[in-house]
Each structure stands twice: as C-alpha cells, then as structure tokens.
Structure 1
Amino acid sequence: MQGELKWVNKLSGTRLLIIGGTSGIGFGVAEASVEHGVSSLILSSSSKNRLKEAIHKIKKSYPDSTTDITTYQCDLSNESKLSQNVQDLFSKVGIIDHIVFTAGDAPTLKPFAEVDFESIQQTGMVRFFAPLLVARYGYKNLSPSPKSSIILTSGVSSEKPIPGWTVTSSYLSGLHGMMRGLAFDLKPIRVNLVVPGGVDTEMWNILDPQSRATVIEELERQTTTGQIGTVESVVEAYLYCMKDYNLTGSTISTNGGRLLI
C-alpha cells in the first residue's frame, strides 16, 4: 500500500496565479503546477490569443488533469492604465495561495548616451512597476500564512553587468531590494526572487536560425556547465520557492555558473 506522499503533494489543492504564464519560464511553471496537482491555475497575459493557446497546450499535454484553468487578460505595459489593470485582475482571481510573476517584454537596447527619460520609464513598466503593483494589490488575495508566497523574477544582469543593459539592469537590480522590503512588509506571506541566467526559450525565435545559434553558443561559453539553462531546470527554483515555507526574503540564482566567469 502506498504511504502518504507528504513531499510531492505540497502543492496539491492550492490555487496559483502566474502573471506571464503563456510562454517560456512562466508556461513551464504552469505545466509543473498541473503535474503537482494544484486545484486551480490562473494564467494572466496581455494577449488573449496566447492565453487560449496556453490552455489548449496544457489540456492536450494533461488530458486527465483535474486542475481548473482560468485566464485573464491584463496589459502591464500601459503606464496610464497599469494600476487599474492590476486592481481589476485581482478583483477577479479570488483567494489564492501563490503569485508567480514572470512577465516581461523585449528590452530596448540602445547606447546609454542615446536613452531618454521616456524610454527609461517604459523599460521599467513591466519589469519593475508592474510587480510592485501586483504585490501592492495582490497580497490581499493571499491567505495570511507562511504557506502563501509571491515569487518575482529578475535576471543575471542584476548581479553581473552586461554592456548596453544599464537601464534594464537598473530595474532588475531594484527587484532585489523590492523583494526584501516586501518580505518584511507583507509578513507572514513569503516573498522571494528567482534570478535566471540565459534560458533557452521561444523568445530567441525572433532571430534567424544562424543568429539564434550564435547567441546560444555565446551564452553557453559564459557558463561553467557548458550549456544554456532550460525551462525544465529553471522551473525547479519556482517550485522550491512555493514549497519551502521557511524561505522568504531570499534570492535563488539559477545561471549555470555565469557569475563565476
């Protein structure tokens, strides 16, 4: 007779909201959460079509799953509507156990001498201001318990500079301070930050095959593992953040040794 599965079932029956859950790491977290038996999975994205595609892919991959999947469209890139859009989202999702924020947009990379204040503001809209507002309004939807958590996402350039990324890296670095402040202000709710290095996702498909291969090869050279990260590997960091009720105010770096090179 099979014994009680107290380790692998820690997410069973929970309700999870993933903001940016239709592709890349966010979609990987969505798939993993279904495998771990969450009772309710809520996906949010700015694209209605991508939300439909995400549901179709999950249901096709897990036809026997009993997880209830709901989607809500939410645009995080519009400064004038950002606060209201976030409030509207949380007026719909109900009580949840975890919020995972993986949303992002393509960075505007231009020489620092050419950036203006407007572009600086826009660069931080999805990466910085949106997660701060998500925490501001979303914590009320979380049960006030160490079993509840908010997981933010930064990037390796927050810890190691990359030429041309000054503006983007400024916001990514700011997420470290944001996470620690939130972990204190929102206690006993836990708040943590995942910092991935290069990860092989469909984001790189915007490049032609040769350029994509060149980028991947360069990212691999910048690791000690000799390989770029995969969604399947990096998702484990998010699962850990949700399942360790003693983890808060912490940064989980998953970068293949990028900080050692």
Structure 2
Amino acid sequence: MAPNYTDKLRAKSIVVIGGTSGVGFAAAEASLEFGANVVVVSRTQKNVDKAVQRLQESYPAAAKRIRGHTCDLSSEQAEADITKVFDFATENGAHLVDHVISTAGSFPNPISLAEATPSNLVAASQYHFIGDLMLAKVAVKYLQPAYTSSITLTGGAGTYKPPPGWPLWAGVGGAKDALTRSLALELKPIRVNLVSLGAIRTELFDRAMAEWGESAAEAAKNASVLGRVGDPGDVAETFLALMKNHFVTGTINILEGGALLI
C-alpha cells in the first residue's frame, strides 16, 4: 500500500521566507525530511549561503533540493524583491510552488503608548503586516491554485495577552489575524493560516535575553504552563501539519506552552 501520510510533501515546492534561522530554518529542515524541494529566503546573501550550506551538510542526499535567494520584506521594494524570489523558485513560471511559509520579522521591543508614533507603527507593520500582504499578493500568481496549496504566516501570542508596553504590537498582531482570515477567503482554494508564537528559543530570542538579563529569560520560561520555552522544532511540527492537512484554512494556531492559561 502506498503511503497516505508520509509522502504528502514529497517533491513539493516550498518557499520559506525567513528560512535561514530560527523557526524558519526548522521549517526548511522538516520540509526536506519529508522530501520537499526548498527555497530559503533571507535579507542578506551571507545568511542565505550559510543556511544553504548548513542544510546541505545536514542532508547531503537532499543537496540538490536546497536553494536560496535574498529578499527584504521591510524594504519599499518588497513587492519587486518577492517577485524575484518566486521567479527564481519557479524558474520563471516553468513550475508552480505548493507552499509558502513566512517567518521573517524582528524581535519586538516594547513600545509604550507614550512612545508610539506613526513612524514606529509603520516600521513595525512593514515586517509584520505589510510585508506579508505583499507576499500574498505576489505568491498567489505562483502557487498551485488548489486546496493542497497553502500560505502560512507567523505572529505573536502577545496579541492575545499583551504585557505592559504592548499596544502597538498587539494592534499589529490583531491586524495580522484579520489579514489571515481575509486572505483565506480572498485566495481560496489556496489555504491561508497563521501560527502565533509564544517564547521560542531562537537566535533572536537568545540575543534579546542576553540584552534584557537572566531575569527576563527566567520569566519567559515561567510564563509557560510547561515551565519551558519552545524549540523551533515544536513550531516546525505545526508548519508541517498546516501544509499536510488539506481541510484547514483561516485558522489562528497559538503555540505558547499554555501561557494564556496563567
């Protein structure tokens, strides 16, 4: 009997925006392990080259299924850059993409209401809302027009339980939730979902904790019912599920270790 589950991503084409580190890199690893062809995307060629090399060293048998390209979702030229990514991924439309995962973003520093300005709202929105909107606008032209295809966005669980100094980020997060549901209708039958993250031990997280101090790292761990922060691999499992489950769209999937219960 042919496999019904393990082969769902075999030979599929997956583009991972922000795929050179953190949860994006884990998504690329997981996709490769399930037989997909992967393009990892980052702002700099250095990051792309390093990630491609790491993946090829970890999965030498899959070396030909790993490629990379640059793109900056925070740029005013984001739409043109995204188009170049998909022209590269599809060899100028010779074949279409099956799945897109967007994990690009910056670690959100608290911005109080008193500090909020139109300019820092636009700056926060560029990565965490506008960039993903432009991504969807371009990606739909290159995705297989079927319910087997998907776009998965990434957000933050602070949207639902905002700490002090979080009105700007909570607002941007709420906008991304609404964008996800709207895109699920707009792009059907292509499926669109959001993975909203609590504390995940990525390179960005470690740098922030080093800056904020040991007490911040301990607080992040204790904020979870499980007494730990998440790993990128935990998030990759959800990305896999959303790509492989062809009956899920418009959903907000919260991965926060139960932090919203406390």
Using the size of structure 2 for normalisation, the TM-score is 0.93
How far the C-alpha of 1:208 sits from its partner, in A, is: 7.0
How far the C-alpha of 1:212 sits from its partner, in A, is: 5.2
Contact between 1:43 and 1:70, CA under 8 Å: does it hold in 2?
yes
**Number of the residue aligned with 2:252:** 251
**Number of the residue aligned with 1:115:** 116
- Point out the more displaced range, 184-193 or 80-89: 80-89
Residues in 2 aligned to 1:183 and 1:197: alpha-carbon distance in whole angstroms? 23
- Cα deviation per residue 1:47-103 (whole Å; 9 max; x = unaligned)? 11111110111111112225521211111222x322322233233322100000000
Provide the aligned length of Structure 1 versus Structure 2.
Answer: 257
Matches within 5 A, 1:118-133: 118-133=119-134
Percent of residue pairs bearing the same amino acid type: 32
**Number of the residue aligned with 2:53:** 56
How far the C-alpha of 1:6 sits from its partner, in A, is: 1.9
**Number of the residue aligned with 2:233:** 232
Contact between 2:148 and 2:190, CA under 8 Å: does it hold in 1?
yes
Q: Is the alpha carbon distance of 1:227 and 1:208 closer, same or farther for their aligned partners in structure 2, counting shifts above 3 Å?
A: closer
Q: Is the alpha carbon distance of 1:205 and 1:108 closer, same or farther for their aligned partners in structure 2, counting shifts above 3 Å?
A: closer
Residues in 2 aligned to 1:178 and 1:14: alpha-carbon distance in whole angstroms? 26
Q: Is the alpha carbon distance of 1:98 and 1:212 closer, same or farther for their aligned partners in structure 2, counting shifts above 3 Å?
A: farther
Contact between 1:193 and 1:252, CA under 8 Å: does it hold in 2?
yes
Residues in 2 aligned to 1:55 and 1:108: alpha-carbon distance in whole angstroms? 29
- After TM superposition, where is structure 1 displaced by more than 4 Å over at least 4 residues in a row? 207-212
Q: Is the alpha carbon distance of 1:121 and 1:12 closer, same or farther for their aligned partners in structure 2, counting shifts above 3 Å?
A: same
**Number of the residue aligned with 2:216:** 215
Residues in 2 aligned to 1:206 and 1:18: alpha-carbon distance in whole angstroms? 22
**Number of the residue aligned with 1:205:** 206
**Number of the residue aligned with 1:76:** 73
Structure 1's unaligned 5+ residue stretches are: none
Contact between 2:9 and 2:244, CA under 8 Å: does it hold in 1?
yes
Residues in 2 aligned to 1:164 and 1:71: alpha-carbon distance in whole angstroms? 36
Instruction: Give the 3-state SS of the residue equivalent to 2:41 in structure 1.
Output: strand
